[in-house]
Structure 1
C-alpha cells in the first residue's frame, strides 16, 4: 500500500492552512519535503487534490472527497496510539476535550478535578499526554467534533451537525439579571417586572452560534417576541459585568452570575415568565472510535453531579 498516515497528515495540514509553507510548520518539515509528500500522495492516487490559485492551494472536488476520510483515519490512528500511552483508563491523559464557554469555565474544571481524584493522581498526567481542552461557542465545538479535531464535546445548546451522536446531559437554570439600580426595576426589586418593560428593555446577548444565545432566544421569544440588543459579546463573563455596570439586562446561567448575585452587584429579576431551563449535551462523532479512556470519561460525565 503506497498511502501513508504521514501523507494524510500533511494533506490535512495543507487543507487547513492553504499553503505548503504554513503546513510545513505544523508538521515540522521543510517546505520542500511537504511539497514532495503532497506530490507523492497525488501521484499515488493518480489525481490532483488541490486547485493552485496563485500561491494558495484550494481543495478541489477530489480533495473535498478525501478530507473527511483522511480526518477519520488519522483520528482512529491517534486513538490506537493514545490508548497504549497510559494504561490507566480512568485518567484523561491524551483526550482532546471541546467545551462551550459556560461549561468550559464553570463545570469542566470541577469534572476534571473529580476525574483526577478518581484516578488516584495529585495532578493531571504531565508531558505531552495531558488532556487538551478547547473552549469556544457551541457551533465551533460541534464543528470541531465533526472534523475530528476534538474527541468529545460538552455543549450548552442544540447541535445541528448530522454526523454527530448527541446525548442529553444535565440541565441548567437561566435567570434574568440586572444591576440593582436599573430603571426597569423602578426601585422595587421585589416586584415582578411587567412583560411590557422587558420588551422595551435593552438586552445584552451572546454572539450568533452561541448555545446560550440560542437557549435564551428559545426561552424568551415566545413571551417577549423580540429582544432589543444593547450589545453582543463573545462570552458570558463580559455580559454579566456589562449588566453589573448598567449597560442592559441579561439572561444567563445561574452558575455564571452566582458570584455577583452574592455580593449584590446583580439582582435576579422577578417576572411572570415560567422557570427558564436548558439542557447541556455530550457529543461525539458517529464514527469515532471510543478508546477505553474516552468511554470512561463519557460515562464519568454522565454520572457527574455538581
Structure 2
C-alpha cells in the first residue's frame, strides 16, 4: 500500500488552509515539500483534488469525496496512538480475560464494573470455564490473563496468589445435618453423607478435596455437576451436602433455602490465583488490569493468615 497517513495529513492541512504555503506551517514542512507531497498524492490517486485558482487551492469534487475518509483515517490513527500513551486511562479494549466458573460468575462482574464500568471504558472479552480449561487457554495464548480458583501446575505459566476464599459446608434446612442444631457435626457424620461435587478439572473440586479428604479420608459422592450454581440448587432441594464458596451461597443462606452446617473441621480456605504465560509481554492495559485485580478487595472472605 503506497498511500500514507502523512499524505492524508498534508491533504487535510491544504484543504483547511487553502494553499500549500499556509499548510506548510501546520505540517512543519517547507512550501515546496508540501506541494511535492500533494502532487505525489494526486499522482498516486490518478485524480486532481484541488482546482488551482491563482495562488489558491480550491477543493474540487474529488477532494470532497476524499475529505471525510481522510479525517476518519487520521482520527482512527490518533486514537491508536492515544491508547498507548503512558499514563492514559487504561481501557479493557482488546484484552482477553479468562476466569474459572466461580470467579467468573460471582466476582468478575464486580471487578469489571469497578475497573471500567464507571468511566464508560470498554470491557475485556471474557471466557468462563473450569480451571483446567482456563489454564490451557492461557498456555495456548488464547487468553491474556487467567483468574483461577484452583492450583496451577503448568511450569510455563507465571502464577501469583490473589485473594483468599472461604469454603463452608451447607445443606437444606430439612437435611439431618442441619436439623442437629446447637452442636458441631462430627467428622464421622460427615463421612456418611452424600456430597454434591464439581466435575474433575474444576478448581472448586480440587479445593474441596484438598480441604476435606485429609480429615474425612473419602467423600461419598451424591452427584456431580458442572457448575457451583447447580450444586447450590441441588443442595437446597435436599439432594445432598455441599462445600462451596461463601460468596456462592450467601443469597440462599440469607433467604433460608440453605443453612451453614457447623462442623468440627478447621476453617476451610483456598487461594485464588492470577496466571499468565511466562513468555507473555504485558501491555500497559493488561498490566494495569492485573494490578487492579491485585488491589481489589471484596467485602467478605477469609482473613489473611
Q: Same fold (TM over 0.5)?
A: yes
Q: What's the CA shift for 1:94?
A: 1.1
Q: Tell me the residue number matched to 2:264.
A: 272
What are the residue-to-residue correspondences of 1:52-131 with 2, within 5 Å? 86-87=83-84, 88-116=88-116, 121-122=119-120, 124-125=121-122, 130-131=123-124
Q: Tell me the residue number matched to 1:9.
A: none
Asked whether 1:221 is paired with 2:213, we answer yes
Q: What's the CA shift for 1:191?
A: 2.0
Q: Tell me the residue number matched to 1:54.
A: none
Q: Tell me the residue number matched to 2:288.
A: 296
What are the residue-to-residue correspondences of 1:17-32 with 2, within 5 Å? none
Gaps of 5+ in 2: 1-78, 299-305
SS in 1 for 2:280: coil
SS in 2 for 1:107: helix
Q: Tell me the residue number matched to 1:44.
A: none
Superposed CA RMSD: 1.6
Gaps of 5+ in 1: 1-81
Under a length normalisation based on structure 2, what TM-score does the superposition of the two structures give? 0.69
SS in 2 for 1:296: helix
Q: What's the CA shift for 1:188?
A: 2.5
Distance 1:95 1:250, change over 3 A: same
Q: Tell me the residue number matched to 2:169.
A: 176
What are the residue-to-residue correspondences of 1:144-155 with 2, within 5 Å? 144-155=137-148
- For residues 227 and 185 of structure 2, the distance between their equivalents in structure 1, rounded to whole angstroms, comes to 26
SS in 1 for 2:83: coil
Question: Which of 217, 236, 252 is equivalent to 1:260?
Answer: 252
- For residues 298 and 207 of structure 1, the distance between their equivalents in structure 2, rounded to whole angstroms, comes to 28
SS in 1 for 2:288: helix
- For residues 188 and 197 of structure 1, the distance between their equivalents in structure 2, rounded to whole angstroms, comes to 11
Distance 1:230 1:85, change over 3 A: farther
Q: Is the 8 A contact 1:86 1:93 kept in 2?
A: no
Matched length: 217
- For residues 100 and 110 of structure 2, the distance between their equivalents in structure 1, rounded to whole angstroms, comes to 15
What are the residue-to-residue correspondences of 1:188-203 with 2, within 5 Å? 188-203=180-195
Q: What's the CA shift for 1:83?
A: 7.4
How big is each residue's C-alpha offset from its partner over 1:151-170, in whole Å with a ceiling of 9 and x where there is no partner? 00000010011100000000
Q: Is the 8 A contact 2:177 2:261 kept in 1?
A: no
Distance 1:246 1:83, change over 3 A: farther
Under a length normalisation based on structure 1, what TM-score does the superposition of the two structures give? 0.68
- For residues 80 and 265 of structure 2, the distance between their equivalents in structure 1, rounded to whole angstroms, comes to 49
Q: Which moved more, 1:283-292 or 1:85-94?
A: 85-94
SS in 1 for 2:162: strand
SS in 1 for 2:253: helix
How big is each residue's C-alpha offset from its partner over 1:199-239, in whole Å with a ceiling of 9 and x where there is no partner? 01000000000000000000001110000101110000000
Structure having the higher Rg = 2
- For residues 139 and 198 of structure 1, the distance between their equivalents in structure 2, rounded to whole angstroms, comes to 28
